């Protein structure tokens, strides 16, 4: 069972992030079609930390949120790492084809500012694998912000299964949280959220609400 959330306004979300020292754009101000240089910070296949099951994780470069305490500060530069190549894409597709791989995870940097690279890739993943492979994305944008953003961001969001949303807030860091770094961040079921018209928390296949701390006894 998914859980619908009470939704703070975008204005409240922006004010909260700015108070924590996180840069915040106006809707549409940051356009990945202009900002992205097509660089990749890293690619980590067959890992168990970036979402449920065995994942292939692609870390894109470029993130102007500049969250204090960012764990991947070098990847804030849009020219960090190396250019995305056809060879890397073929490797990703071959890795995803392995039956034990659950899906693709998109991290950064800011994936929603790397749409010139990620939109064609995820469209290809959907065309080849359908719903057999899940797509997770981590973003400094909240669900509510992305719904007001440019078409390319909204198209990428619609292709994802799970969104881990919101900036990293250092004062809310919690090492016991699964799949995210701070308590303000949410693990969102994208399809259910579109259907409900509001953010809906994702529930793992094991039946637990992954938005809870690993030390919590509450499951819903």
Instruction: Spell out the domains of the chain, with CATH numbers in brackets.
Output: 3-201 (3.20.20)
pLDDT per residue, tens digit, the chain (220 aa), is 455 555 678 888 888 889 989 999 999 999 999 999 999 999 999 999 999 999 999 999 999 999 999 989 999 999 999 999 999 999 999 999 999 999 999 999 999 999 999 999 999 999 999 999 999 999 999 999 999 999 999 999 999 999 999 999 999 999 999 999 999 999 999 999 999 999 999 998 655 555 655 433 222 2
Q: Quick: pLDDT tens for 97-108.
A: 999 999 999 999
Q: Describe the chain by its helix, strand, coil percentages, rounded to 5.
A: 30, 20, 45
Write the pLDDT tens digit of every residue in 188-219: 999 999 999 999 999 986 555 556 554 332 22
Residue 209 has φ and ψ, to the nearest 5°, of -85, 105
CB burial readout 66-95, b (16+ within 10 A) else e = ebeebebeebbebebbeebeeebeeebbeb
Give which of 29, 26, 88 is closest to 59, Cα–Cα.
Answer: 88
Distance between CA atoms of 185 and 210, rounded to whole angstroms? Answer: 12
Residue 14, H or E segment = helix 10-19
CB 84 within 8 A of CB 120: no
- For residue 154, how many other CB atoms are within 10 A of its CB? 14
């Amino acid at each position: 069972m998914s859980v619908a959330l009470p939704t703070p306004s975008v204005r409240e979300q922006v004010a909260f992030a700015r108070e924590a020292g996180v840069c915040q754009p106006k809707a549409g101000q940051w356009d990945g079609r202009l900002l992205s240089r097509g660089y990749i910070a890293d690619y980590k296949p067959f890992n168990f930390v970036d979402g449920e099951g065995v994942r292939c994780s692609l870390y894109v470069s470029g993130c102007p949120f500049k969250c204090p305490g960012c764990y991947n500060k070098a990847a804030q530069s849009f020219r960090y790492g190396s250019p995305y190549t056809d060879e890397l894409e073929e490797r990703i597709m071959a890795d995803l084809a392995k039956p034990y791989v659950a899906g693709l995870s998109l991290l950064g940097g800011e994936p929603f500012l790397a749409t010139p690279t990620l939109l064609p890739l995820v469209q290809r993943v959907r065309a080849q694998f359908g719903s057999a492979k899940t797509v997770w994305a981590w973003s400094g944008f909240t669900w509510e912000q992305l719904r007001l953003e440019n078409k390319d961001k909204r198209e990428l969001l619609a292709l994802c299964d799970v969104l881990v949303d919101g900036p990293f807030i250092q004062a809310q860091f919690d090492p016991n949280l699964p799949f995210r770094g701070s308590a303000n961040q949410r693990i969102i079921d994208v399809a259910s959220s579109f259907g409900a018209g509001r953010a809906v928390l994702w529930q793992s296949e094991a039946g637990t609400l992954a938005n809870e701390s690993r030390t919590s006894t509450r499951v819903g």
